[in-house]
Amino acid sequence: SKRLEGKIAVCTAAGQGIGREVAEAFLREGATVFASDLDETKLEGLDAFGDVRTMALDVTNSEAVAAYLAGVETPDILFNCAGFVHHGTVLDCDEKAWDFSFDLNLKSMHRTISALLPRMVEKGAGSIINMSSAASSIKAAPNRYVYMATKAAVIGLTRSVAIDFIRSGIRCNAICPGTIESPSLEGRIEELGRTVGGTDKARTMFIERQPMGRLGTPEEIAYLAVYLASDESRFTTGTTQLIDGGWSL
């Protein structure tokens, strides 16, 4: 039987990259998925994979998030995927950039979790999965100042929710990927290419920092997300699941 049969999932930033792949995997495993993204057009085609409800949603808009979540069925799975990679050191990060990254990468999770948790607790079960990164409190990467700060904070938020609601049947885990192929990674490769002498050189630099000698794929993250979403992982909570091709070794 399918691994998420009968489960309801809420997925943010499901339009492309890891979010898209995870939403497709949840659907293939039989879940009903409430999939949202800032750009609704990116959600096209998800219906080919199963029972999906798509909607435009900006996770930085508190009112919109509250209104959207009030209208979804109480989920068994909440996958908080939305995030943005700011490039630069502390000296490149003005208050606007700081606030934007913390709002999108962290406060968005506070919005969705605080809105849905009371109903999930009432249901007596739930798996919350938060997108962190190896580049957080785990592995230092150059020019990822505010990004690392937000992703480290995601780990703290995750562990806090895990411990406070452990007796309510709620699990909360963080996924910490290394470098994963995605549309936004392509953008970062192009950006780096402008300073290191070309896109190919930049891509090689991203690949070489992965000890396995290749980038990870969104599919590899989706396998982990399905596991964390399913009852197979029912003894696992508050963890930071490193999936980084040995980057942090």
Residue 249, helix vs strand vs coil: coil
- Residue 59 or 116: the one with the smaller Cβ distance to ligand NAD is 59
Catalytic residue status for 145: no
- Site size toward ligand NAD (CB under 6 A) is 29
User: Distance between CA 87 and CA 236 in Å, rounded?
Assistant: 33
Closest contact distance (angstroms) between CB of 121 and ligand NAD is: 25
Question: Do 216 and 177 meet the contact criterion of CB atoms below 8 Å apart?
Answer: yes
- Residue 7 or 151: the one with the smaller Cβ distance to ligand NAD is 151
User: Distance between CA 133 and CA 242 in Å, rounded?
Assistant: 8
- Contact range with ligand NAD by CB under 6 A, out of 12-20, 69-77, 90-98, 120-128: 12-20
- Residue 131 or 152: the one with the smaller Cβ distance to ligand NAD is 131
Beta strands in the chain (DSSP E): 8-11, 32-37, 52-56, 77-80, 126-131, 170-177, 240-243
Closest contact distance (angstroms) between CB of 12 and ligand NAD is: 6
133 near ligand NAD, judged by CB under 6 A: yes
Contacts of 14 (CB under 8 A, 6+ apart): 20, 22, 23, 33, 35, 36, 37, 43, 46, 54, 81
Give the x-and-dash track for 169-208 against ligand NAD (CB under 6 A): --------x-xx-xxxx-----------------------
**DSSP letters spanning 51-94:** SEEEEE--TT-HHHHHHHHHTSPPPSEEEE-------B-GGG--
With tokens 């699941």, the residue in question is 241
Q: Return the CA Rg of the chain.
A: 17
Question: Do 153 and 138 meet the contact criterion of CB atoms below 8 Å apart?
Answer: no
16 near ligand NAD, judged by CB under 6 A: yes
Could you say which residues in the range 32-61 bind ligand NAD, by CB under 6 A? 37-39, 42, 57-60
210 near ligand NAD, judged by CB under 6 A: no
Q: Binding ligand NAD by CB under 6 A: which of 12, 127, 173, 233?
A: 12
245 near ligand NAD, judged by CB under 6 A: no
13 near ligand NAD, judged by CB under 6 A: yes
Closest contact distance (angstroms) between CB of 109 and ligand NAD is: 10
Sites of contact with ligand NAD (CB under 6 A): 12-13, 15-19, 37-39, 42, 57-60, 81-83, 85, 104, 131, 133, 177, 179-180, 182-185
